[in-house]
Structure 1
């Protein structure tokens, strides 16, 4: 395991389009992306793709990872099947390793109590309010939010379901893949379809 390994949680019904911008650019810039399932049995994404996890959740250690990425999935809102991944997020944050959650995964973190006292976002505020969490005062109306690391916990990125580009921008910035100018160009190119951003990003 290298110091540049990022772990992507995979589970049935996960929204396969949400992490794609991030994982593509992480891989392109020397990171290794490994998939983590509840077990190593194949899962089926929301888009109907079959993914075989590289490792099972009980094999995952924060010490082996730069980041844990949690995507949306129908299962976040239909029971407790994915609760172990929210528990893993707590373990990562407690160990000082960042977590990035988008879409329904933010509700999972809310139920785990991980959004009660730190800035965050999601689809809409009332989506998280329905979980009964205590963090409504810290909800931010934004495409994506990064709450920085402190001495006692890792950084946390959250984003709404329509913002995979902003989600990726925050991840790429947090891990130092791009500096501010290229992060801006990345967002302008893939979010705004600004062709002038291509030369900046690839320069």
Structure 2
């Protein structure tokens, strides 16, 4: 479905093919149709018998077939647990996908690992922006301090200003360190969500 959200594939139609024997084909088709409606995925549901020829015929006019794949002992299995390599002989261009984890088609966008990752990335972006802004302010204050110290050598009355800028610069440096800690924490959170932590 996500393919159709891109410019190249936006006119593509989706066909979901399920294996079912004649006695249960109607029920399987109804269940899948309802699931797709609830998930707001516009797709046609087709049921076929669980054999290579039937699948090949159902997919003969497809531009791209996305199929399941799983490993069992020495075999690579595809649709209806048929040998994937045999299936590829009768299918057009095919991408076989092994699901890393189950996901809920009906889950709202505010749930799940993807949402957590998006939130963490937004937090990281904000933390990096803040860190960069604070660094620039600290650099500017440091440059001003150097100039003011030189001026204070000629005009001792400026020493008060020097002390104020030194204090401000020290505070800015503390805030930069805190911002760096926030960036590291956000990076760690993303690594944990991705399973790298």
Q: TM-score, normalised by structure 1?
A: 0.27
Q: TM-score, structure 2 length as denominator?
A: 0.28
Looking at both structures, which has the greater relative contact order when contacts are Cα pairs under 8 Å and sequence separation is at least 6?
A: 1
Q: Which structure shows the bigger proportion of residues in helix conformation? A: 2
Decide which structure has greater strand share: 1
Structure of larger gyration radius: 2
